[in-house]
Each structure stands twice: as C-alpha cells, then as structure tokens.
Amino acid sequence: MSPARSAQRNIRDVVFVDGVRTPFGKAGEKGIYAGTRADDLVVKCIRELMRRNPSLPADRVDEVAIAATTQTGDQGLTIGRTAALLAGLPRTVPGFAIDRMCAGAMTAVTTTASGIGFGAYDVVIAGGVEHMGNHPMGAGADPNPRFMSERLVDPAALNMGNTAENLHDRFPAITKERTDAYAAGSQAKLAAAYSNGQIQHDLVPVATIKPGQGWALHTTDEPPRPGTTVEDLAGLRTPFRAHGRVTAGNAAGLNDGATAAVLASADAAEELGLPVKMRLVSYAFAGVEPEVMGIGPVPATEKALRNAGLGIEDIGLFEINEAFAVQVLSFLDHFGIADDDPRVNRYGGAIAVGHPLASSGVRLMNQLARQFEEDPSVRYGITTMCIGLGMGATVIWENPHHAEYESFATDQATTATTEGAAA
C-alpha cells in the first residue's frame, strides 16, 4: 500500500479567531459608498484583521476566499486573490472567489474550514462583499429561458420579494401585523446594541471621497432607523403584490458592505497565540422550492443538527439573517420558538442593519461570537440564512467560554492520541 493510502488522517478542530466588517451603507447615489470600489471595502477588512492580530504572520495565511454574488467589475477578477494582493499579503498567499448568493461569505467560511479540518490549511481569511449600488441584484444576469419555457421554477422564484409573499400565502398565521412587529423589534434591538457598545468593535472605519463633498469617515451603519414603530410600518406600500404584506419596512434593504474573518485549526491558533471566539461544530446546506426560498433555513438547520447529534433545544443563541421578517418567523414557527424569544437576534438583524448579500454570513458570526463572550451559560449557537433560488445554510458553533468546552477539547485530544497509539 502506498504511503498516501496508509497515512492516518485526523479531522482537526476549526476555530473562529476574529471577524470584522465595514459599516453597511445604503445602495445608490446617495449612499455612503457611492463612488467607492467593492474590492477596496474587502481590502479594508483584511488589513484590519491583520492589524488586530499581530501574532499572525502574513505568510501563515494559507488562503483568502472572498464571496460576491455579482462577479463582474470591481467584484470580479477572482476577488479573493486580487483582494489579498491589494491588502499587501505576500504573493505566496493564494485566493479565490465564491458565489452562493446571500450565503456567499458563509460558504467561504465553510469551504475553507473544511480545508482546515482536512489539513490542507492552517489559517485562512474568508468573507464576502456586495456593492449593490455598483451592481444591482440581477443586473447583467441572463437566466436560461428553459426556467420559464419548461416551467422548471415558478417565475416568482427569480424575484426575492415575490418569494416572501409566497411564504405569507403558505403560512397564513404569519400576518403583516406580526412581520411589522418583528421588524420594529429588530430596529429597537439594534439601537440598544449600539447604545451598549456591542456593535462598534466589529466595524472597520472607512474613509470615502465624493466630488464636491470631500472626505468623510464612516464609523456606523447607514441603514438603521431607530425609533421605528409598528404604526410607522403599517402604511408602507407593498411593492411586490397589490394589497400584499411585504414592505421595505419588514425586509432588508439594498446595501453595500464587506466582511472578513480569520479561521484556523485549533492547533495553529494555540501555536500562534490567536484568540478563539468559537469552535465550528457542524454545517449544512439544503435546497427547497425556489419560489419559497425563505424556508431554506429550516431543512438546513435540521440537517446541521443531525450531523452534530444535537436538538433544537440545545441551541442557546440564534443569529438568523433577516432577509424578510416572514422568513424568520416561518423558521421560528417551525421550531416552536416565540417571535420575541430572547435567544434570537439579540442585536437586531438585517431588517435594521442591512444585508449586502454575499457579505452577511460573517456579520452573523461576528455577532454570535460577541454574544458567546457575554453569555458563557450558552454552549451552542447557530448562524443561519435563506438563499436565493431556493436554498438554506446553517452553521453550528460552540462557545469556548462555556464551562464544558475545555472538557470536550480534552476528550477529543485523548481520543486522537488513543487512536494514534492503536494505529
């Protein structure tokens, strides 16, 4: 037998070391990032990660994976590699681009984490960017006519707002009143998190320049509307359907922003003196009917829980991307979780802070990591999101501040040692 076939290979623990993001902006000519390049936003995040983690030598970064939904212009040219070069990482550091629409950054994390677990990498940078002002969703896309001619999907599947209205049809108990109440709650929770200083640490200040206006430094998110009430939301128009239920107030907006995170093997993190904010437990992706894509987090979460040997009752914190309030509520109803359960989106969500598509997965992870630190009583948490064209994604994480975390790590090390000795 060849050495490659006979060699023992142990799956390694993967840890979330650190994550940052730019403030999120509103897409369009009046937004804070109008005239700013998408790749420059990613570069800001990578440079900040390296600055915050001085014990990480740049040449120890084994891969840079950056996601973008629209991979053209300033989001094209293999953005993971170009961002690595622009950020000043050594030319020996490779990079690639990835696309899974809204779950781009989440997929960048899980893909590179798999490489760490397998032993191909020790340390990686993974994240995402979406400049929806430069690249409106769907701009330049050319859907295959077979989608329509052969009725492979409902035409509504190609418009995310319509899929949200379809969810309302499927789950009539989720009324507009409920979604508006949830949306107002998201705004209030984000405002409280800002007031408590729970958001600012994750943000990378971004300086921009506009003709006739000069330079500006952006240190906070642009989309939030603190003080929003249910009464404010009740009268908003329903652009996707006459007398519908989905509005600009109970859905995420069109946004610009970037995120990035450092992941490492547990051994490499210990060797380099890097912090451990979370341990990856399990992840899963699932497909659903494209016309009700918002239900995707349900089967993805069920699959991730099965893979981890956990139940929904084991999850102490939920970071659910709020593409639409109806999508979040359909998830909560499925698992028997109350609309205002304190475990869910403690800092608010995308309805308030924004959803720059491919970047959002790492924002969820940043917020979960901070909540783990604040609440050591929680052992497991999840980050989950729906994905365009009918998918869902879920990642389960373990809290290193929990009392039983060390015993788990010790058990794993003992098992690996025992197996090695037996071999």
* Residue 154 φ/ψ, nearest 5 degrees: -65, 140
E-assigned strands of 266-307? Answer: 278-287
Q: Is 201 a catalytic residue?
A: no
**126: Cα within 13 Å, side-chain hemisphere:** 31
Cα 83 to Cα 89, 209, 256, distances in angstroms:
9, 20, 17
In angstroms, the CA 190 to CA 20 distance is 17
- The catalytic residue among 131, 135, 168, 386 is 386
Give burial (CB, 10 Å; 0-12/13-18/19+) of 343. Answer: middle
- The contacts of residue 235 (CB under 8 Å, 6+ apart) are none
In angstroms, the CA 224 to CA 155 distance is 32
**235: Cα within 13 Å, side-chain hemisphere:** 4
In angstroms, the CA 81 to CA 95 distance is 4
Name beta bridge partners: 396. 282, 382
- The catalytic residue among 45, 102, 168, 218 is 102
Tokens encoding 214: 């000069």
| Contact yes or no for 332/202 (Cβ under 8 A) | no
Grouping H, G, I as helix, E, B as strand and the rest as coil, residue 130 is strand
Q: What is the DSSP letter of 54?
A: T
Helix (H) or strand (E) holding 96: strand 95-98
Q: Is 386 a catalytic residue?
A: yes
- The catalytic residue among 135, 168, 355, 402 is 355
Tokens encoding 9: 């290979």
Q: Is 45 a catalytic residue?
A: no
Q: What is the DSSP letter of 344?
A: B
DSSP 163-201: HHHHHHHH-TTS-HHHHHHHHHHHHHHHHHHHHTTSSGG
| Contact yes or no for 284/316 (Cβ under 8 A) | no
| Contact yes or no for 132/356 (Cβ under 8 A) | yes
Annotated catalytic residues are 102, 355, 386
